[in-house]
Chains A and B, each alone.
Chain A
Amino acid sequence: GIQVEQSPPDLILQEGANSTLRCNFSDSVNNLQWFHQNPWGQLINLFYIPSGTKQNGRLSATTVATERYSLLYISSSQTTDSGVYFCAVFVYNQGGKLIFGQGTELSVKP
């Protein structure tokens, strides 16, 4: 089955710094989502981005489907950005499931 790898596994930033999180996947996908998991475990949708670039405030994401990777950019980080960021991919011929990476744990220090 398809493999999803995220890097780095952990990241510590000072408030105000920028960061880039990466998601590599091993095969063609029909859908890719980025999530932020807050300390209570809730998965919050950030982007639905099977290809191209999207922006939402301080966050933006780019997926290059032909090269099988996606990037999540966080600019001017805030302490509330702390948590775990997951990418997940969906492949029609592998059923209805999302396949998640292992996540990047981000800690933003004041």
Chain B
Amino acid sequence: DTGVSQNPRHKITKRGQNVTFRCDPISEHNRLYWYRQTLGQGPEFLTYFQNEAQLEKSRLLSDRFSAERPKGSFSTLEIQRTEQGDSAMYLCASSRPSGGPDTQYFGPGTRLTVL
């Protein structure tokens, strides 16, 4: 396994701009998760995919947020009209097909700063 990768690792943007993050899960992991972590807190769930289907979205995921996983491989998370409150670490995780252990493996995260 090469591990979960995320790009970019850091993003600084001005309020009102759109940003997009990418996550590449471990190969053959069909479940992919997005979490958000603010300073001093544990990660909070945003959304998850099984293959290309988005199965659950948190209430934290406002209308300005959209996530896709078009071919069931990599995923993108887009934030439109960014606000200073969006500043956080965005973490992606993946896990194996159901029937096996549900251990989630996390990527290094994308740290977003909105000025």
Contact = CB atoms under 8 A, between A and B. Distances in A.
A90 interface: yes
Given A41-B109, A41-B111, A88 B102 contact: no
Nearest to A102: B42
Contacts of B89: 41
The contact size tier of chain B is 20 to 34
Which of A41, A42, A43, A90 counts the most chain B CB atoms within 10 A?
A43
Nearest to A44: B106
B106 A97 contact: no
Contacts of A96: 31, 33, 48, 50, 55-56
B56 A48 contact: no
B65 interface: no
A43 B106 contact: yes
Contacts of B48: 95-97
A51 interface: no
Interface of B: 31, 33, 35, 37, 41-45, 48, 50, 55-56, 58, 89, 91, 93, 101-106, 108-109, 111
